[in-house]
Amino acid sequence: MTTIALPVRSRLPRSRLRGNGLALAGTVILVLVVAFCLVGPLLYPTDQVHTALDASRLSPGQQGHPLGTDDLGYDVLGRLMIAGRTSLAIGVLAGLLATAIGAIWGALAGYGGGWLDAVLMRIVDTGVAIPALFLLLVAATLITPSVLVLALVIGCVSWLVPARLMRAEAATLRERDFVKAITVMGAGRLRVVFRHLLPNAVGTLVVAGTFQIADAILLVAYVSFLGLGVPPPATDWGAMLSKGITYTYDGAWWLILPPGIAIVLVVCAINFVGDGLRDALAARGRA
Amino acid sequence: MRRKLGRLAAVLGCLSLGSLVLTACAGGQVRHGVGGPNTVSFALPPSATPNWILPLPIPGYTASYNGVIQSALFVPLYAYDGSSGEVGMDQRASAAEPPVYAPDGKSVTITLKPLTWSDGMPMTTKDVQFWLDMVRAAKDDWGAYSKGLMPDNVTGFHIVDDHTFTLTMDKTYNPGWFTANQLTLITPLPQHAWAKDPDPRKAFDYLVGQAKQLGAYNTNPLWKVVNGPFALDSFSSSQITLAKNPRYTGPDAAHLDKVTFLTFTSSAAEYNVLLAGGVDYGYVPTTNLGQKGKLESLGYRVEPWNGWSITYIPYNFNNPALGKAFEQLYLRQAIQHAVDQKAISQVIWRGTATPGYGPVPQNNDPTFLSDVQKNNPYPFDLNASKKLLADHGWRPGPDGVQECQDANACGVAKGTRLSMTLLTESGSDETDGTMQELKSELSKAGIELRINAQPLNTVLANGTTCEPSSPACAWQLSYFGTQGSWYFPAYPSGEQLFATDAGVNFGNYRDKPTDDLITASTLSTSSQSMVDYSARLAEQLPVIWMPNPPYQVSAIDSALGGVTQDPMAGLQIQRWYRTR
Amino acid sequence: MTRFLARRLLLALIVVFLVTVVTFVILHLLPGGPARGVLGVKATQAQIDAFNASQGFDQPIPVQYWDYLVRLLHGDLGASYTENTDVSTLLAQRLPKTLLLTVTSTLLGIVVALPLGVWQATRRGRAFDVVTTGLAFVLYATPVFFLSLVLIILFAQVLPIFPAQAAQGDTLAALLSQPASLVLPVLAGTGVTAVAYSRYMRSSTVDNLAEDYVRTARAKGTPERTILWRHVWPNSLTSVVSMIGYSVPVVFSGSLVVETMFNYPGVGLLFWNAARNADFPVLLGVVLVIAVTTVLGSLLADVVQLLIDPRVRVPGAKS
Amino acid sequence: MSVLEITDLRVSYGSAVAVDGLSVSVARGEIVALVGESGSGKSTVALAALGLLPRSAHVEGAITLAGQDILGATAEQLRQLRGRGAGMVFQEPMTALNPVRTIGFQVAEAIRNHDPKPQKHKHYHDRCVQLLERVGVPDARSRLGQYPHQLSGGLRQRVLIAIAIAAGPGLILADEPTTALDVTVQQQILDLLRDIRDTDSTGTLLITHNLGVVADLADRVLVLRNGKVVEEADTETLFASPQAAYTRQLLAAVPRLGDTAHEEQPEAERPVLKLQDIVVEYHGRKVVDSVSLHVGPGEFVGLVGESGSGKTTLAQCALGLVTPKSGAMTVFGGKLDRRARRRLGAVFQDPASSLDPTMTVEQTIAEPLLIHTNAGRAERRRKVVELMDAVELPQSLLDRRGHELSGGQRQRVSLARAVVLGPDLLIADEPTSALDVSVQAAVLDVLARLHAEFGFGCLFISHDLAVVDQVCERVAVLRAGQLVEQGPCATVLHTPSHPYTQALLLASPVPDPVVQRDRRRLTSA
């Protein structure tokens, strides 16, 4: 379940041994969704810049709009595509950023140990204790949101979990014999961190990264729900959903279901893939 | 095989969740409200908890609905509202008989009604003097103070007897304006109970100090002394209850035993409760207006509540980049031509907003409305926009944005681009929609509008009066959004809005003829100056005129009578009654 | 053990201190400040200056922070701009309600999720597991606001069983006087916790079932049920307990959303309104409370771990 | 009459065959050993005997335990047999007990499971105390309330044995019961198992890789290789005249004390490693207590001791991974700085973690070159190839990664990495302990060859006295952080003066049943 603003949510260890069926399904879903968002507008071009108040709130099928139009007359199917681009772009960028920051932070803490570890991890604890919602609200008043800015902001509030993961991983790896052996033979800190710790944590990081992306997509949805999303006429699934929700009682299901399903589907799919990757890595670890 | 099917189920599970939403359908008839039989619950707008009980406004404690509570407990000297059908004095709700102006218009004699404080003491002229003394002593801390106006313009207070007094003014005023916009500020206060210090300044500070203790409203004996139809029953940040004042002696006694004001976080939360029957008098978010039929089947009547207000987007004439351009009337005309007010009102506001073409509220009262404003001098016409720009030396650049090619014709430097940023309130669907529509239409005329949506507070903090050299003058256009419509006092003159250097003239609009008309509207006794003012600003476009949304669209329990949706945003709850 | 606790307490204090620094600095970086928002559109520049002076905003930030800290240590969190009440009074009113919501949904989450996780683990790969795990995935991917809305539509409107909003009032008693109004918020909050906990419990149980001691128990003829509930269960529990403690921020953030959706008069709602009104003292107070709760949560997790896990509680062999 | 009768057992996982056509029977009072190296399928047999194999295992053949068919038994019948028909003792006493349950609970449960009228656990406490006393747990009653982590490894193994015999089974399945234990503890456990057999005439199926243990305890031996029995014989017959080539090879690979001749070496003047009064503390406890030691150029110095003796800590100290609280350490006569590290190599115990899984063999071996030299790609390659030859690895492995290699191959790569810069000091911490004997022999061989080539001094840490005797010239014996004896192997390991060294020597089982019998007589006397 989600956790708004939960960069701080403790990532659950998931089951091993869940065959790869789900992962495959997840991959297929993701490929389809990405194709839908990227290629879709080429095959089904719509005007997502200019409003058309004379064609607003059409139900599906009317006037050649397969999924109807929204309150400003935007074609919902076309909007779903460009919204998906935003959601996926922010999700992927923010997820990668969070993972990258977290990885380096955690590696330094876990490998450095001692006071460095203490200082770095207290900062992480502090970050965890400050509600991300607060940071996002403040950030939104400081800057004009755009895809890049939002990705940056979300990335910067959600690196804590990967940092903790990476720290644990680094602390374990530090005790591994190959690290000891090469340290003893004179390898420097940077070499150990970048040549040994990070490559060995790639598995963990990739898995953490996928979950981070899923979380970021949800977080974007929340941010938009709070009215802090990308400025119109750009939009994302979260913004579409939160806007659609206000039409719940009108029975305008075409404003709610498509973005809602898109979010749930993509987040599920990414989690499936993440689980699959974890299984694969666990299997390789056992080999 | 079984495993595979199971996995399929998991994937399908993902797909099926949303379909739950589809199943929304009509519920049964529910008893509305949360209180006893002769009570009514009223939904307050989001984040609008009343926070000031003392009928002396103080900056920082200006939540809407403070006035509603205050006037139910403490009868104002003169109440103005729209209960009679147009905005005017509400005699029943006033603490005094209509004022009698001297023929020279420089003094006014007022006779109080025989009202009684709830501790049994009669209301007297001393109670009015108490108010005046305190406001005079502490005018800088008094929220309604404006230099030169009340209390500066009252030079003498003369007590005739316990119920009659005379005010002397510094000059001749338009009596209509003076009563509506100045005398309405006065509220007789229980001097015998509240004057804890003979020094009016100290008395004022004491009362303000007490009023700041919201948690003590329930128990503080000060607030038990009231002369209005209601008394305070309970006060908390999430719910306020007023109970009928049994010792009220005026002509406007309450019908209901209790009225409860409920606070909500969001209009969506309020609407959910409304549908579940949790309030008697609530509001319908515009986006849910399609549900009118359903609400009616639930026993509500749905009525827009029009405000005594205008809505607009100020230009920042002091903006270094575009101020010069904004000064060009043709540009303002071109922009106004690109605003499709009818479509915005009809589609985005679902027919509840009223197009507004000038500085006078357009949907309530024809007294001050000029024909020019009424007939809209600049109807939606993109070709007109383009032509105006083309005629003045603007040509669309490669990206479609108009660029000045001829400084003489344009009135601005060659190469100036018509690309402007609009600071706007975030978090409102209607504002978002309006802004997108505006952006879309302007882009068709070659004017680029960049929308910068911020929380209302940020917009308020940034979109204010500024010096051209100051970095604070970076804003170009600002829209306070749905909560930012300007609500007039009873007399809709423009001295605060469009007069040079006026307090709320955020864009620094300067126009000598306008200033003259505004002065005339407050000082002359004729109403023609208001009509001329209406025509002048409808033509001159000191701001972008926008459709004026209703105060709210109300959903009122059909068994609740006596409700007038007062454009002045008063409630007159004492007149509500239950028909069942 | 006392030394361990003292150390953890010290770390907790450091974190809380850092939180105050960070939030304070961030808030004071905001352009414009709160004056205009607080005083309203009609306020004059003089009034704004007076407000800033009265709040000390004309002082350098370190001075302001020091004043804030000194007052904080005296238990003074400042006063709300908009609700003209002490922040501490507001928090004292709201916090119990939020705790009611979060603790109830956490407990309910535990009650539902832990046995569910065990059952899933023992039926791994079978229909029960796959269906419940699939559902958990879906719930996990559903934004809380969406879930709340679905609950409201289903149970407050289609079947008007429960109220769509929580009971109002300043006291906990007022809230408890209408228990039915708590059902939906608690249910939504439980959604947040139960999914996470069950997934964790499931994997913890799966891992434990593969442990050597389970084989030992089997080899001595212990029935499977006994193995599950008397051997695996207490082991899985020890790891899940700390996870529950660490999930405090998750639960709190979830409740922020749940409170806005159900008009629940708790800290989340307070926070939400304060953010909209730039009510700095309230924002600082709420963030501080959440930080303290978060820190206490992980502290509690460690303490509980200390109590239930003999490996931590009892010193080991000196070998 | 046999308590366990396995006929033609075949266990496979998919296409992989773990056990192939194995038949064995264990009679009452008889100890039968299944011996083999890792992957020989010996543990699978024990698990199969109690029906504990995972569902994915495909089992054929017949297993009769206490007269009952195992393969066709219902779940409840199996449960009844487990503990009552046969008790099982596992290798890892650290993980085989439930960490959050008391000893009392876990022992009582073993009785209770087979009580027709199960009572509360407390009811069985007296019986538990008897059992614990029977297996030699001192202070038995107070142990009931303790948790496994409060007990030492040896005590835990005794508790596991108590659990195994709690329901009075006719058979004990002992799967590597002493592998995780120190030799002195191992000796006690072996004695206990023998004692149980002697007094209760319980049959025992002993599964082990350790030929010394077999020689000490077993009556009959089956040698397993790749799931097949290669030889079956009386213990004495087998050790005296092994028939199968594999058995002979196995026996030959076991290092024995006294096999190697030692030359006296003159005291070196400038030792490559010198430790002087080293003290290391962990949480106020002295792990290493004023140890002085030196390694001369080209000299092999063994460091022996049981677990917890501080030998690994001392090694880490020498490597600069642990900072001593006091004492002086010099490497090549100076401080352990970057220049000194260039002349230093290290090999560790665990082959699984000795190589970076993300690196190829070539990258791994070449890494020290990258750190310390400017050698170009081609030169590095040449050097790596050279070393691959030296450690007897085919060049085809150059692009493999760690997890694609066997344990022995990994340790050879570790060795190659350690010597690639031609070090003057090598620190080897139990480099062969995790390896099968035959692999160990080969790796030790390589080590000797590298020594001959590079002439480095070496601190060689091991728990196995025979291995140390084979490779080292001098040896130091560590006990509880203190050095008890130090000197040439010929002296210390053959005519030890300290009683602890004597006890250690006596406890290390030798793959010779005759010697073991003599020793037993000696110790019991």
Unique residue bearing structure tokens 């256009």: B477
Q: pLDDT digit string (tens) for C241-299?
A: 877 877 887 788 888 888 877 878 888 878 877 776 677 788 888 888 888 888 888 88
Among chain C residues, the shortest Cα distance to B142 is held by C47
Contacts of D361 in chain A (CB under 8 A): none
Taking the C-alpha atoms of residue D161 and residue D510, their distance in angstroms, rounded to an integer, is 24
Tell me the three state secondary structure of residue B415.
Answer: coil
Contact predicate A83/A259, CB 8 Å:
yes
Cβ of D349 within 8 Å of Cβ of A177? The answer is yes
Neighbours of C159 (CB within 10 A): 11
Distances (CA, A) of B335 to B328, B342, C136: 11, 15, 53
Cβ of A253 within 8 Å of Cβ of B22? The answer is yes
Could you tell me which of B33, B16, B525, B570 has the C-alpha nearest to residue B274?
A: B33
Does residue C31 have a cis bond before it (omega within 30 degrees)? no
Cβ of A185 within 8 Å of Cβ of D368? The answer is yes
CB neighbours of C145 closer than 8 A, spacing ≥ 6? A4, A222, A225, A242, A245, C257, C261
Taking the C-alpha atoms of residue C303 and residue B561, their distance in angstroms, rounded to an integer, is 61
Taking the C-alpha atoms of residue B352 and residue B283, their distance in angstroms, rounded to an integer, is 13
* D245 token code pair: 């080539």
Neighbours of C318 (CB within 10 A): 8
> Shortest Cα distance from B300 to chain A (angstroms)?
16
Contacts of D418 in chain A (CB under 8 A): 181, 185
How do the pLDDT tens digits run along chain B, 580 residues long? Answer: 333 333 333 333 333 333 333 333 333 334 465 556 789 999 988 767 788 899 998 877 767 788 899 999 999 999 998 877 778 899 999 999 999 999 888 899 999 999 999 999 999 999 999 999 999 999 888 888 888 888 999 999 999 999 999 999 998 888 888 999 899 999 999 999 999 899 999 999 999 999 988 888 989 999 999 999 999 999 887 789 999 999 999 999 999 999 999 887 677 778 878 887 889 999 998 878 878 888 898 899 999 888 889 999 999 999 999 999 999 999 999 999 999 999 999 998 888 899 999 999 987 667 888 999 999 999 999 999 999 999 998 999 999 999 999 888 888 988 899 999 998 887 778 888 899 999 999 999 999 999 888 777 777 777 778 888 888 888 999 998 766 788 888 888 888 889 888 878 888 999 999 999 998 888 877 778 889 999 999 999 999 999 999 988 999 999 999 898 888 888 899 999 998 7
Angle ∠(D235,D239,D242) on CA atoms, nearest 5: 110
> Shortest Cα distance from D225 to chain C (angstroms)?
25
Taking the C-alpha atoms of residue C186 and residue C197, their distance in angstroms, rounded to an integer, is 16
Sign of CA dihedral C33, C38, C39, C41: positive
Residues of chain A with pLDDT under 50: 1-18, 285-287
Could you tell me which of A126, D465, B485 has the C-alpha nearest to residue C288?
A: A126
Cβ of A245 within 8 Å of Cβ of B268? The answer is yes
> Shortest Cα distance from B522 to chain C (angstroms)?
19
Q: What's D329's DSSP letter?
A: E
Of chain A residues 200-239, which have a CB less than 8 A from chain C? 214, 218, 221-222, 225, 238
Whether chain C lies against chain B with 3 or more Cβ pairs closer than 8 A is yes
Cβ of B239 within 8 Å of Cβ of C278? The answer is no
Cβ-Cβ pairs closer than 8 A, A with C, add up to: 166
Among chain A residues, the shortest Cα distance to C141 is held by A264
Contacts of D163 in chain C (CB under 8 A): 216, 220
pLDDT at C31: 63
Could you tell me which of B111, B130, B106, B74 has the C-alpha nearest to residue B178?
A: B106
Interface residue B10 vs chain C (CB under 8 A): yes
C210 band by pLDDT with thresholds 50, 70 and 90: confident
Taking the C-alpha atoms of residue B70 and residue B45, their distance in angstroms, rounded to an integer, is 17
Among chain C residues, the shortest Cα distance to D182 is held by C319
pLDDT exceeds cutoff 50 at C82: yes
Q: pLDDT digit string (tens) for D255-281?
A: 888 777 766 666 667 888 999 999 998
On the CB side of B45, CA atoms within 13 Å amount to: 13
Cβ of C319 within 8 Å of Cβ of D152? The answer is yes
Interface residue B474 vs chain C (CB under 8 A): no
Unique residue bearing structure tokens 């399928």: D41
CB-closest option in C37, C156, C272 to B461: C37
Neighbours of D69 (CB within 10 A): 11
CA–centroid distance for D427 within its chain? 20
Cβ of D110 within 8 Å of Cβ of C316? The answer is no
Interface residue D497 vs chain C (CB under 8 A): no
Neighbouring chains of C at 3+ CB pairs under 8 Å are A, B, D
Mean pLDDT of chain D: 88
pLDDT at C248: 81
Residues of chain D with pLDDT under 70: 1, 262-268, 524-525
Tell me the three state secondary structure of residue D87.
Answer: strand
Contacts of C156 in chain B (CB under 8 A): 272, 275-276
Interface residue B13 vs chain C (CB under 8 A): yes
Cβ of D114 within 8 Å of Cβ of C310? The answer is no
Q: What pTM does this model have?
A: 0.77
CB neighbours of C184 closer than 8 A, spacing ≥ 6? C148, C151, C152, C155, C156, C162, C163, C164, C262
> Shortest Cα distance from A73 to chain B (angstroms)?
10
Interface residue C26 vs chain A (CB under 8 A): yes
Taking the C-alpha atoms of residue C251 and residue C189, their distance in angstroms, rounded to an integer, is 7
Whether chain B lies against chain A with 3 or more Cβ pairs closer than 8 A is yes
Interface residue D147 vs chain C (CB under 8 A): yes
> Shortest Cα distance from B157 to chain C (angstroms)?
28
Top pLDDT among C158 and B184 is at: B184
Neighbouring chains of A at 3+ CB pairs under 8 Å are B, C, D
Q: What's D260's DSSP letter?
A: S
Unique residue bearing structure tokens 């050597």: C212
CB-closest option in C220, C224, C311 to D83: C220
Cβ of D341 within 8 Å of Cβ of A182? The answer is no
Taking the C-alpha atoms of residue D478 and residue D481, their distance in angstroms, rounded to an integer, is 6
* B99 token code pair: 């004022």
> Shortest Cα distance from C230 to chain A (angstroms)?
22
Tell me the three state secondary structure of residue A59.
Answer: coil
Contacts of B60 in chain C (CB under 8 A): 38-40, 51, 81
Unique residue bearing structure tokens 């309130």: B425
Helix or strand holding residue B555 (H, E): strand B552-557
Distances (CA, A) of B316 to B283, B461, C40: 34, 14, 19
Of chain A residues 120-159, which have a CB less than 8 A from chain C? 122-123, 125-126, 128-135, 137-138, 141-142
Cβ of A14 within 8 Å of Cβ of C199? The answer is yes
> Shortest Cα distance from C290 to chain A (angstroms)?
7
Contact predicate B498/B335, CB 8 Å:
no
Interface residue B407 vs chain C (CB under 8 A): no
> Shortest Cα distance from B405 to chain C (angstroms)?
37
> Shortest Cα distance from C148 to chain D (angstroms)?
40
pLDDT at B468: 84
Contacts of C216 in chain D (CB under 8 A): 88, 90, 96-98, 160, 163
Unique residue bearing structure tokens 């991890």: A121
ipTM of the complex: 0.74
Q: pLDDT digit string (tens) for B560-569?
A: 998 988 888 8
Tell me the three state secondary structure of residue C42.
Answer: coil
- What is the widest separation between alpha-carbon atoms in chain A? 75
Cβ of B214 within 8 Å of Cβ of C142? The answer is no
Interface residue B3 vs chain C (CB under 8 A): yes
